[in-house]
Amino acid sequence: MKHMGTSELETDRLRLRRFTAEDAPLMYRNWASDENVTKYLTWPAHKSIDVTRGVLESWISGYSEPDVYNWCIELKEIGEPIGNLAVVSHDDATDSATMGWCMGARWWGRGIMPEAGRAVLQYLFAEVGFNRIVAKHDAENRKSGRVMQKLGMVQEGTFRRSGRNNRGIVDEVVYSILREDYEKTQSQSVQLTWRRRIT
């Protein structure tokens, strides 16, 4: 496995790129301040744009590390960031990673997150060399589970009272996909371009 950092990816509708400090106002407006978005997440809705700026400062500084994968999802048709998709943890001993995502409620139900997820899976499997990708969701957050299914992930089980988010202690449903499984499903290729991080 070769860590390559948050390289820019592109799909038909999306530009997946690194966050910049200039994204703060739109990140705050489009999703970070919305309690509907953060209901099932582990972090609370931002109460001010200063909170968003602080989060972005931390994320941006993390890009100096080659094993940090945190994409801003920019919708081409409006030229605005509408969410993010990241590797929230990884284990180099097993070549495995856990992905997480969130997106503004105005864009739910349009197939945007599966489109972003497919591009990221292709990058993580084919370019970085991960062998297993995991995603988890609050058992009540079935919409997130449907995204995992659309990505070709297999449900491994429900872990009772194993997670904590803004609803409290919750049951977590775990999905995964292996590189060999992903490769078998690629009869419909994802149009993807990417650029390496320039240091």
What would the mean pLDDT of 153-178 be, rounded to a whole number? 97
In CATH, what number does 8-131 get? 3.40.630.30
> What is the per-residue pLDDT for 199?
38
Q: Is 120 helix (H, G, I), strand (E, B) or coil?
A: helix
Contacting residues for 65 by C-beta, under 8 A, at least 6 apart: 5
Query: Average pLDDT, whole number, for the chain?
Result: 94
CA dist 125 to 10, 57, 88, Å? 16, 28, 16
Q: What's the confidence (pLDDT) of residue 198?
A: 41
**Mean pLDDT along residues 133-145:** 97
Percent of the chain with pLDDT over 90: 91
Contact 179, 52 (CB under 8 A): no
Domain regions of the chain by residue span: 8-131
Confidence of residue 15 (pLDDT cuts 50, 70, 90): very high
The CA-atom distances, in angstroms, between 62 and each of 65, 99, 125, 160, 183 are: 6, 16, 21, 33, 30
Confidence of residue 196 (pLDDT cuts 50, 70, 90): very low
